[in-house]
A and B are shown apart, each in its own frame.
Chain A
Amino acid sequence: MSLLSLSSPGWGGVLLMGLLMSLQVAIGGYLLGLLIGIGGAAGKLWGGPILRDLLEVYTTVVRGVPELVLILILYYAGTDAVNQLMQLLGLPAVDISGLTAGIFVIGVVQGAYSTEVLRGAILAVPPGQLEAARAYGMSPLLSLRRITFPAMLPYAIPGLSNLWLIATKDTALLAVVGFAELTLVTRQAAGTTKAFLTFFLAAGALYLMVTLVSNLIIGIIEKRARRGFARPEGAA
C-alpha cells in the first residue's frame, strides 16, 4: 500500500498526474469528436450526394484503420510533412506535441463514431416531429438545436456515453509517442516495482471512479432528456 502513497517513494502522485493527462486528452478529443459527429451526422442525413460519399469514406476509413496506425502516421509522417512545408516556406520547424497530436487523433476517431451514433439517433426520432419544425419555418440549424437535438438525445445518450468511456481509455494509445497518461505510468510503476496487481487494480479503481462520476452526470442529463417520454414499463 505504501507503494501508492502520494509523495515520492510512493507512485500515487504519478498515477494521479497520469489520470489528469488522460482526462485532458479524453475531454479534448471527445469534444472535438462530438463537433465532428454533429456535422457529420447532419451531412450524412441532409447533405448532397458528394458530401455524403465523402463522409461515408471518412467514417469507414477512420473507423476501419486502427487508432495506433493513425497516431503513428500523424505523429511521424504528419510532423515530417508539416516541417517540410515549413522549410519550403522558410519557417522554423515546429514540434507537434504529444498532447496536440493525441487530442487531434482521438477527436478524429471519435468523430467518426459519433457521426454514426448521432445519425442512428436522429433516424429514431419520429419523422413527424421534424416535419412539424420545418412546417413552421424553422431553419435547419434552429430545428437542429431546438427539436432534433433534444428529441434524439434519449436515443443517443447510451452510445455517446460509451464513446466517452472509450475516449478515456483510448488515451492509452498515446503511450507509443511517450505521452505519460494513466496506462503508461501504470505500466511503468508496475514494471519497476513488480507489484503488478497493486498498480493495475489501482489504475482500475481510478478509471472506475471516472466512470462513476461520468455516470452520475450522464444520469442527470439522461433524466432531463427523457422527460416526456413514456417508458415502456414491465411486460405485464
Chain B
Amino acid sequence: MSEVTAIPAYQAPKARSLFEPHRIFLMVLFAIILLSMAWFMRWDWIPKYQTRLLWGIWETIVMLFSTAIAGFILAVPLGLVQVTGPKPLAWLARGFCTLIRGTPLLLQLWLLYYGLGSLFAQYPEIRQSFLWPYLRQAWPYGFAALTISFAAYEGEVMRGAFAGVPKGELEAAKAYGMGRFTMFRRIWLPRAIQRTLPTLTGETVIQLKSTPLVATVTVVDVYAVISKVRQDTFLTYEPLLLLAAIYLILTGILVFSFRQLEKRIPNRGV
C-alpha cells in the first residue's frame, strides 16, 4: 500500500476566534444598526438624566444580586427537602413553591408592602421601635418579595437537579462514611448545580427582568428612571432602546460568567 496518508499536523483545539467571517459580518451589522440609531434618533436627553440613570443601574444590580443570592440560598433547602426530606417538610416546601410560583409577583409585592406594611403601621409599638425607619422604607419589601420569588422558582429547578444526580455517586459518598452534610456539600450540591447551570442562568436573567416591579413600591431602579424619561419626553423608542441596551449588557455579563462556570467542568459531547 503506497498511498500512506500523511496525517495533518495536530492543531491545538483553539478557542474559536472572534474573527471568523460570519462573526465579523454580525459585528459589522451590529455596528451599522448602532450607528444609525445614534444618528437618526434623539439622544439629547441623556445628559440630563445621567446621574439618575447610573443610580438606577446600581439599584438594579444591587437588587438583582442580593435577591438572587439570598433566593438561591433559600432555594437549596427548598429543593432538597422535596427530594429527601421528611414528608411534612417536603409538603411544606412544595406548598410554598406552588403558592409563590402560582401567584403573580406583583400581587405578592403588593400584599407585602401595602398589606403587611400597613399592618405594621397600625401598631404603635412597631412605629416606636428602632425597626420602623426600615419598615417605613420600600426596599425591604421589594427585597423580600424578589427573594421569595426567586427561591420558589429556583427551588423547583433544584428539586429536579438534586433528583437527577446519579444515585451511584451518592452511594459512593455514603459508603466512604461521608456525613450527610459533607456529602451534600462536596458531591450532591456541586453535581446538582453543574447540571442546572443553564437553567439557573435563565432564572437569573428572568430575575433581572423582574426587578422593575419594585418601582411600584417606589424603589427607583433603572427601569423606573427610563419610565420617567419616557413620560417626561414622550419619546417612544429611544429610552426603551437604551433600556434594552443596558439590560442586554447586564444579561451578556451574566450569561458569559455562567458559561465560564459551565466550562469549568468539561462535559463529554452529546
Contacts and interface: CB of A to CB of B under 8 A. Distances in A.
Q: Do chains A and B touch in the complex (CB under 8 A)?
A: yes
Interface of A: 45, 49-50, 53-54, 57, 59-61, 63-69, 72-73, 76-77, 113, 116-117, 119-120, 122-127, 130, 154-155, 157-159, 161-162, 165-166, 169, 172, 183, 196-197, 200, 203-204, 207-208, 210-212, 215, 226, 229-236
A124 B195 contact: yes
A68 to B, nearest CB: 8
Contacts of A54: 26
Given A123-B267, A231-B163, A234-B84, A207 B206 contact: no
Contacts of B255: 59-60, 63
B167 interface: yes
B237 interface: yes
A206 B252 CA distance: 36
A51 to B, nearest CB: 10
A215 B198 CA distance: 23
Contacts of B166: 126
Given A120-B195, A120-B198, A235 B205 contact: no
A159 to B, nearest CB: 4
A116 B243 contact: no
A19 to B, nearest CB: 12
Nearest to B154: A162
Given A57-B26, A232-B83, A165 B206 contact: no
Contacts of A154: 160, 163-164
A166 B255 CA distance: 20
Contacts, number: 160
Contact of B240 (A69, A229, A234): A69
B89 interface: no
A233 B188 CA distance: 12
B183 A159 contact: no
B248 A162 contact: no
A225 to B, nearest CB: 10
Given A117-B198, A200-B111, A232-B170, A212 B102 contact: yes
Interface residues of B, number: 68
B26 to A, nearest CB: 7
B84 A235 contact: yes
Contact of A123 (B115, B174, B241, B270): B270
A77 B268 CA distance: 44
25 contacts: A45-B270, A59-B255, A60-B251, A63-B251, A65-B248, A66-B223, A68-B240, A69-B243, A73-B240, A116-B199, A117-B199, A123-B198, A126-B166, A158-B199, A162-B156, A183-B104, A197-B115, A200-B107, A204-B103, A204-B107, A207-B107, A208-B98, A211-B102, A211-B103, A232-B163
A64 B248 contact: yes
B99 interface: yes
A172 B101 CA distance: 15
The secondary-structure label for the interface of chain B is: helix
Contacts of B184: 235
A161 B156 contact: yes
Contact of B212 (A66, A77, A200): A66
Interface of B: 16, 20, 22-23, 26, 83-84, 98-99, 101-107, 110-111, 114-115, 153, 156-157, 159-167, 170, 174, 180, 183-184, 188, 195-199, 201-203, 205-206, 209, 212, 223, 236-237, 240-241, 243-244, 247-252, 255, 267-270
Given A172-B104, A232-B170, 18 more contacts: A60-B251, A65-B244, A66-B244, A68-B240, A69-B240, A69-B241, A120-B199, A123-B267, A124-B195, A127-B270, A159-B199, A172-B106, A200-B107, A204-B107, A207-B107, A215-B98, A235-B84, A235-B184
B206 A166 contact: yes
Contacts of A157: 160
A162 B101 contact: yes
A73 B237 contact: yes
Contact of A76 (B98, B165, B236): B236
Contacts of A125: 270
Nearest to B153: A162
